[in-house]
Each structure stands twice: as structure tokens, then as C-alpha cells.
Structure 1
């Protein structure tokens, strides 16, 4: 997974490369400039030295009369020879010569320097003629010689060069006056060696600095890559931590000794334990059913099978995946725990919906065929009831026929309601007046059974269809009355529809203290809505009855139709709410209805999970 973008590293590489190039170019240019300046300094030094030597030599030359007619000879003064010897011994002077336009007039070479025919090269002679001065480097006898030449002026017949020394009394000679040039040659091998050494040191310095810069750049790139890798690792670690912390499924890691090494928040939430209590513990710190599943099903779970576990009203799936080390051995296990309660409820609700659809198709097909002859039978039964009034047992038989025809008609009506419920019109319903209407409708039955009906509305309003909510409360109150009456046989069946009078005939009254409470409260734990409950202190329900209570035609009473709670379930399904039964055997039953504030998808229930003395059965249908 790419966390740090490569463009950052690429940009750093480009910046570093450009920096190295700029530093390198700057160093090269600075070195070239320094070498050029050094060469200029060497040239200036040589020029000054040669110029000084030239003036010293020029002052040491004197003219002498030659043997031929009109010819003037030149020679060095006696006191200059010692000076020349010192210069020669110091390796400074290679040669000294005076040249005219045709030939050398005076020439002296240092010991060890062989010059067979001294003459001025043409380009030097031309330069002296044009500029009166020339300087430069010439190879001579394997040496690098700096040559400096300058005009001495024309030769005077009586004195030689006219700019030489003071005049004497010797007679002048009448001869041509050619231009004379004094040329001095100096050995600059030492200077050139020093310059080459300086140049070599400068080049080595540039190479060293460039190498150091490149090395530092490489180290910086390596450091940046390490920092980038560290940032990437930190980002990946944060991403993984965030991912695991927000994973909806529980995740545990457990070593070979059974110690829990890590646990995400969802694991604590699903297992209903306090945050941070799982890490460091073992199987014994897990809920009993989960630990038993891990201990007993380990062999199967290692193959990747999901184990089904029911815990705290939840339906969990547990999977253990072996984590192998580099040698292929299993040193720890990754344990996944996911809550499949809602999915299982959806599956069960789908089954219920399929059953209701099948029943609805059947009811729609036979309702018309049953109701027409049933109406005729009821009409004849009423006729005979009036005709045989006061005659026994004929009148009793006729009334029984009317009652049974009415009961059968209500069964058909209930079946049609389940098959095709009427559309709902949710609104804010004031619960207290609605409970008063229910009590008024069932008043005769409540008084006749000796049951007390109380209310406790902590939430005054609920968003629901008023008629549907009234129908649900009537069905639940009737079921509670039946549960509280101390008899197992009933001579009638209660059924109430909105706007119709319910019927309930009880052979015996309920026990003293029998009580039914209609209550409400606001939802908690993130839910938005109202819970409406009908609670009694009757005998309660067994596990089998709770599991099948909402199924159509399931009843525990001989004369029951098994459609009352199914209608309640259908009403709550259409409200996109929840119907839940909480029952403790011997302590009573509470049927709770959750009405969401909006018609959207409802959340999971906020009721606590069952304990050793409490169990719950839930049924929920969510809208598509």
C-alpha cells in the first residue's frame, strides 16, 4: 500500500542533483578563474623580473672599437661578470644577447646551455620592430625559457647604442646606425613546476569538494529515503491501527499459550466486556461460550470454518486463522468474531414474509368463498335464535352458532389483514388518550377478569399510525388478560379491530394482584424513537413459545387462532420498527414495541442481553 507519494522523493532527488550541478559548475568556474589569475600573476612576475634584468644588463654593456674600419664592438663591463655568474648559478639567466637587424652583436649563454647559432626567430624580430618590445615563452634545449626583448636604440658610431652610459672623449665612427635589441632569456622551469603543482592542487581540491558534496548528497538521499520509509511505516501503522479500531468485526490475536495479545474495540463491544480488559488475558477471560468454542472447535477452526455461537442474545460467528512464522510453524492465531444477529433476523423475517405471502395468497383466494356462505349461515342462526327464544336448548344452540360464525369471520378478517395490511399514516400520537380508549373498549373484560390496568408514560408521544397502534395495544392487552386468568379453558376468543367491539368471555377471574401496565419511554444507546410496552405479571412464556410467538396460527390456547401477535408483528414491520418479547417464567411477560421517529431503517435494540434469570426473543422486519 502506497502511503508516501513517490513525487516527494523524486522532487528531492531532482533538487539534490541540481544543487550538485550548480556547486560543481561554480567550483570549476572558480578554479579556472583562480588558475587564470595565478597564470597572470606568474606572467606579471616574470615580466617584472625580466624587465629589471634587462635594465641591469643594459647598464653592463659598453662599446669598444673593432679592428675593422668603422666597426663598433660591444662587451660586458668587467664588474658585471660576477653578477652574471650569480644569476647563472641561481638558474635564472639562460642567455643574454644584443641583436641588430642582421646578426647578434653580443651573446652570452649560461654554462650547460648549447646554442650553436644564436639568432632571433622571425616572429620575435618582427614584434620588436613593430612594438619595440616582445616577451614570451620558448622551448630551448629542453628548457622552458621566458624571453624578454627590448629595443636599445640605434648605434652611434662613436659610442655604440645611443642610450648606453655617459659620453666619453673617444672619437666617433662614421658608420651606419642599425637598431639594437637586448634580449634576455630566463629559465622558468621552477615557476612552471610551481604553477603545475598549484593547478594540480586546485584540480584535486575541486575533485575533493565535488566528491564530498556528492557523498553528502548521497547520504542525504539515503537519509531521506530512510525518513520516507519511516514516515511510510508510521502512516501505514496509523492506517492499520485506524482500520482495525474501526473494523465492525471483532479481531483478537492469541499466541500458542492462549494469551490474548491484542483486541480491537469491536471485540470488546461484541463480547460485552469493558474496553482494555481482554489484552493480556487468556481463554478464561473470554465469555464462556466463546472460549469453549475456541477450545473445543480449534481443530476445525484451523481449517477456516466459522463456528456458530449464541451469546447474550447475539448470534456470533467465530473464526480462528493460524498465523505461521518463517519456518511454516503456527506461533499464534488470528480470531475473528462477527455479529450475525441482524442478518439472521433478516433471514428469519424473510422466511416469515414468505409464510405470510403464501397465507395471503391462500386467504385472498378463499376469503370470498368462505364469507358468502358464512353470512348466510349467520343469518339463519340469528333467525333461529329469535324463533326459539325462551326455549332450551334450542336457543342456546342458535346463539352458539352465531358466536362461532362471528369467530370464523374474525379469523378470515385477520388472515386478510396479514395478507394485505392497510397503508399506514404515521403521526405523533398522544399515548395517554389512546390508552384510555383501549381501556374503555376492553373495560367490561378487564373488570370481569379482575385485572388492574395501569399506565406509566415517560414518553408522552410516539410517531405511529393511530389505528394500527390501537389495534396492537388491544391485541396485547387481550393476550395479557388470557395469561392472567386462572383457567386453561375459555368459552370465547378475543379479537378487536379498530372501530369494533372486542369480545372476551372468561370462566374464572384472575388471581389477586393481577396487573397489566401500558408504559412508554424514550429509546437509548443511539436509537431515535419510543418504546411502548404492555407488561403483565402472569406465568410468563417458555423458550419454545417465545421463539414461535410471532408465527401465524401458533397459539397455546385451545380456542386461540394464533393471529393476534402475528398482526402485532405485521404492524411493527410496516412501521419499520421492532417487536420484542421479554419474559421470565413465573414472573410475567413484557411485549415491547419500538416506533422509530422516522420511517427509515431502524437500529438494533437497546435492551440488555439475557442473563441467568432472563431471556428474550426478538422479531424484526426492516423495510426494503
Structure 2
């Protein structure tokens, strides 16, 4: 039979508490915002850097072209103006212009602006005089945002000046609105119109890079950054929540396993038997108490159990009552049984639970209580009768002794007197046993050596054993040396059992005494191969005054039973007619006595 499992579906709490969710948001949200802002800032810096590089390259390219054109191709102002206009036609170029040191526009990609004052000149800070330095600033114009790149404009280098073009830092006295000085060579005359304008000390070139085209890209980039940040935020939140959920799941699983283990342990160790059946009345599980009561659990429920379960399936509710089972191994069993259905969905029944207890033990206990009550009443009566009889017996014994001396010359009278004395003494012994049985029994518990106790008890009956040539066998297999008990009372018990065995055996019989360890103490066996006890008498042998011998008092085994009870032990008998009898005496150890 499979181990009994109790199915439990506990109410699972929320995997992640709300406070944990709030904590995760509080921790991750600032991180997400800072990361998003940092990426947006880096994107803006990257775009600005790209346009700054583009503007710087444009200025340097224009400056180099101007240098080549003015020095080798004899460009004039018109050609430079044309070149500015053509350059402004490139993508992302809003404007390009050249100004003097006072902000007057000398050349501009928009020809209409030539000769005017640059309207944002006042907003400029100090411009770099180093020809290798670049300055930049962001502007908002009517055409959109612009990144303006500025540099000092020097179209001639020292090598050009060294070829006799004259100084470049100062006004040229020979320049007069396009007229050529008579003392100049042909190359000088070709370049001088440009020098009249760009040969001053400070000229600056400005390139405005239009940011309008990248606004959409920036917006899309910002959107992408936010989306990626949100995905990262969701991923982090999901990961942390998943960790908490996994931890909560493991804790719930562990708690469920503990509850199931506890419930299984409770069911297995409950004192009542428990069996579950499926709708076809097949046994699906059983606890240890059920196996102990019923023995081997069948695959199909007993007919009486199936009948009660069928009644439940028809009428519903709970059925209970007393059930009688006939077990081959254990005989008749009377069970107090309760049957209830295990409901399923839609008013269906998925099985039955049978809870029962053994009434046989209760019946035995009731019988024992009745016996004890009867023995108590007999004991009180016996005590009173024994007290009243003992005094007349003393007088009768005295008169019998007197007559034996008085008529000592009459052998027949002397014999009669001796018989009277013997009978009086026998009656006195019976009364003594009766009083012993009736009065409260005192025991003196102490540590007692086991083997010497057995040897001593056998020595007390050695004479009687020898007369009938009874062979004695001892089998002492205990690992204990001592036991906590009353040695005098145990010796009295053993003597009574020995004498019963002697009376039951013929000559050359075998008396066996065995001692073994048991779970909760010590077991002593007294075995004989005598006539045995009839089955009809086996339940009465411990009753007072029950005897099968003509000269027996019927109190010996009753006293034995009482002594063992007072020592917190048990005594039982097994006997087969003509085969012999075995008495089992179980004496508890110290730990078992403390638990009682």
C-alpha cells in the first residue's frame, strides 16, 4: 500500500509584496533618468562635435582655396564672393561670411549682406587671434538653430609675403578703388584689389552650420534613447521582481513541503485507522494504524466498508456505525467507522474517507474493568470471611492437638486428630492466601540482578523438581545485568508458575525458563510440556478461585496477575492441550516506568 498523502492546496500569497515593487521603482527610476539624460547629453555633444568638425573643415578648406586662388589664379573680390555663395550651397551650411575687426561684413554667402554690420557682433566674446584656434557658439535664427564656427581669416602665409607682395598688416596706399599702382608688377596688380580688402590686420571668417536638419534626427535619437532606457528599466525591474518572485516561490514551496510533511506525519501517526477509496471502492491509501488494526490492506474495500460508502454516494452526508469484520488472522473485529465523501467539481464524488477505531480493545478493557470490580468486591468479602474463620480454626486446631495427646494410646483417635490438624492448617493457608489477595499489595522496587534471581527461584523448587525428575533448561539472553523491580514479588510469581508447571507435567518433563530483551523492557518465559490448558478455560485462569485441580485454591494465578500489574508489567499465556503452556511476563525498564 502506498504511503498516505494528504493533498493540500494552500492559498498562495502575492509573489511580490507591493512595498517591494515600490522599492524597486524608487531605486531604479533615478538610475533610469540619469542614464537617459547622460545619453541625451552625449548625443548632443556628439552632434555638436560633428558639426564643429564639419564647420572647421569647411573654413580651413575655404581658407586654403582662397589662398591658392588669390596667389596662383589672381582671384579678386568678386571671385571670393562667388566662392562663398557656392560654398553655402553645401548641405547643412546656413551661411558663410568674412568680416573685419569691427564686424563689417566684407563677403557673405548672401550678397545682400555685404557692406552691412554683423548684427550679432555685439554678442561675440573675444575672438581668438591665433590662426589655429577655432571658437563656436549656438544661435537661434529665423531659419532655425545654427552652430556658428569662427576663426581668424588669414588667406596669405609668410611664403606669399616673402615673394614681394608687400605687408599684409596695414592699409595699402597704392589701392584706390580698383586702380593699380604704376610701380607694381603684373601679378601684384592682379592680386592687389583683394589685398586692399583682406590685407588688413584682423579679418574673421564665420561658418553657420544649420542644425535644423538634425532636429528630427535628435528627436528620433532622443526617442530611441528613451525607448532603450525604458526597455532597460523594464528589464531591470523584471529581473529584480523575478528574483523576489523566485525567492517567494521557493519559500512558498518549502512551506508547502513542510505542511505536507507535517500533515502526512499526523495522518500516519494518528491513533485511528484511516483509509481512502476511489469511486469504484478500490483502496487508494491507508495509514499505519489501519494496517495495524486490519493487517494486510486489501486492494478492494471490505464489503461492509463498500456498503457504507455506497450509501454515502446515494444520499450524501456522513455515515457512521459499528462494523463487524471477520479476519482470518485476527478473528472477529468490531470497528466503530465513519465514512465521508471527498467532493469534486460539479457535485461529483472523487472518493471516500473511512475513519475507524478498533472496538475489540475497548471491549477487552470493559471486560477487565468488570473483572477488577468483581475482584474488588470479592476481596472485601474475603477479608471479612477470613477474619471470622481464622479465630474458630485456631480453637479447632487446639482441641485437635489436645485430643491427640489425650488419646495417644488409641491409634485410630490419634490419626483422626492429626487429620483434623492438617485440614485446619490447609484451611489456614487458604485464608492466608485469601487475605494476601484481598489486602493492598506493597512492592519494594530496587535494582535486582536478573540471573541470580532466576537461579534462586529455581533452587527453591529444586526438591520438588527432583522428586518428579523434571529437567530444567535456562536460556538467559539479555544484555542487561539488572532490572528495576521487586525481587521478592518476582520470586513469588515464578514459584507459583513453577508449581503450576509441576502439577501439569508427568515425570521426566521439561521446564524451560527464558529471559530476553524486548523493546520497552525485559521478557521472562516459563515453558512446560505438560497437559496444557483447555481453550475454554484460558480466559478464566487469572480469575479468583478458578482452578482445575481438586486441592487447588484458585488464588495462585490471581495473585500472580495482581503482582505483575503492581509492577507495571504484563502477563499473558499461550497454551495448547497436550502440548504445553507458555507464560510470558514483561517487566518495563526505568524509562518506560517514568513515562507511565
Same fold (TM over 0.5): yes
Q: 1:441 to 1:105 in 2, by over 3 A?
A: closer
- Equivalent pair of 1:97/1:104 in contact (CA under 8 Å): no
TM-score, normalised by the number of residues in structure 2? 0.69
Q: Tell me whether 1:45 sits opposite 2:50 in the alignment.
A: yes
Cα distance in 1, alignment partners of residues 122 and 382 from structure 2? 132
| Higher normalized helix content (fraction of residues) | 2
- Equivalent pair of 2:509/2:529 in contact (CA under 8 Å): yes
Q: 1:472 to 1:548 in 2, by over 3 A?
A: same
Cα distance in 1, alignment partners of residues 119 and 82 from structure 2? 26
CA shift at 1:569, angstroms?
0.9
SS at match of 2:470: strand
Q: Tell me whether 1:428 sits opposite 2:450 in the alignment.
A: yes
- Equivalent pair of 2:16/2:245 in contact (CA under 8 Å): no
1:158-557 maps to which residues of 2 (within 5 A)? 158=172, 181-215=204-238, 240=263, 244=267, 250-273=273-296, 278=297, 281-283=299-301, 291=302, 294=305, 303-305=319-321, 307=323, 312=330, 317=335, 319-326=337-344, 327-336=346-355, 338=357, 355=374, 357=376, 370-389=389-408, 398-399=417-418, 401-418=420-437, 419-424=439-444, 426-430=448-452, 431=454, 434-441=457-464, 453-459=470-476, 467-479=488-500, 517-523=510-516, 526=519, 528-538=521-531, 540-543=533-536, 545-556=537-548
CA shift at 1:533, angstroms?
1.5
SS at match of 1:423: coil
SS at match of 2:443: coil
CA shift at 1:313, angstroms?
7.4
Q: 1:304 to 1:221 in 2, by over 3 A?
A: farther
Cα distance in 2, alignment partners of residues 415 and 114 from structure 1? 148
Where does residue 164 of structure 2 map in the other structure? Answer: none
Q: 1:45 to 1:564 in 2, by over 3 A?
A: closer
CA shift at 1:474, angstroms?
4.0
Q: 1:302 to 1:538 in 2, by over 3 A?
A: farther
Cα distance in 2, alignment partners of residues 85 and 99 from structure 1? 15
Cα distance in 2, alignment partners of residues 195 and 623 from structure 1? 86
- Equivalent pair of 1:314/1:340 in contact (CA under 8 Å): no
CA shift at 1:57, angstroms?
5.9
Q: 1:359 to 1:136 in 2, by over 3 A?
A: same
Cα distance in 2, alignment partners of residues 480 and 92 from structure 1? 128
Q: 1:238 to 1:44 in 2, by over 3 A?
A: same
SS at match of 2:534: coil
Q: 1:552 to 1:315 in 2, by over 3 A?
A: farther
CA shift at 1:472, angstroms?
3.0
Q: 1:376 to 1:127 in 2, by over 3 A?
A: farther
CA shift at 1:108, angstroms?
3.4
- Equivalent pair of 2:85/2:109 in contact (CA under 8 Å): no
What do the CA deviations read for 1:388-424 (whole angstroms, capped 9, x no partner)?
A: 4565986566445434432332233223322233534
Cα distance in 2, alignment partners of residues 329 and 390 from structure 1? 102
Where does residue 145 of structure 1 map in the other structure? Answer: 146
Cα distance in 2, alignment partners of residues 22 and 200 from structure 1? 23
Structure 1: any 5+ residue segments left out of the alignment? Answer: 63-74, 284-290, 485-512, 603-621
What do the CA deviations read for 1:242-274 (whole angstroms, capped 9, x no partner)?
A: 55555565443233433222234554454444x
SS at match of 2:218: helix
RCO higher in structure (CA 8 A, sep ≥6): 2
CA shift at 1:566, angstroms?
0.7
Cα distance in 1, alignment partners of residues 428 and 174 from structure 2? 163
CA shift at 1:296, angstroms?
6.9
- Equivalent pair of 1:60/1:77 in contact (CA under 8 Å): no
Q: 1:57 to 1:547 in 2, by over 3 A?
A: same
Where does residue 86 of structure 1 map in the other structure? Answer: 86
Cα distance in 1, alignment partners of residues 153 and 83 from structure 2? 21
Q: Tell me whether 1:573 sits opposite 2:565 in the alignment.
A: yes
Cα distance in 2, alignment partners of residues 378 and 623 from structure 1? 51
Cα distance in 2, alignment partners of residues 341 and 202 from structure 1? 83
Cα distance in 2, alignment partners of residues 520 and 166 from structure 1? 149
SS at match of 1:553: coil
CA RMSD, Structure 1 to Structure 2 (Å): 5.2
| Structure 1 range deviating more: 142-151 or 127-136 | 127-136
Cα distance in 2, alignment partners of residues 208 and 262 from structure 1? 53
Cα distance in 2, alignment partners of residues 469 and 576 from structure 1? 12
CA shift at 1:144, angstroms?
1.3
SS at match of 1:36: helix
Cα distance in 2, alignment partners of residues 410 and 266 from structure 1? 48
Where does residue 609 of structure 1 map in the other structure? Answer: none
CA shift at 1:138, angstroms?
1.5
Cα distance in 2, alignment partners of residues 377 and 166 from structure 1? 182
SS at match of 1:547: coil
Cα distance in 1, alignment partners of residues 92 and 471 from structure 2? 133
Q: 1:266 to 1:135 in 2, by over 3 A?
A: same
Cα distance in 2, alignment partners of residues 566 and 77 from structure 1? 147
Q: 1:182 to 1:87 in 2, by over 3 A?
A: closer
SS at match of 2:573: strand
- Equivalent pair of 1:576/1:601 in contact (CA under 8 Å): no
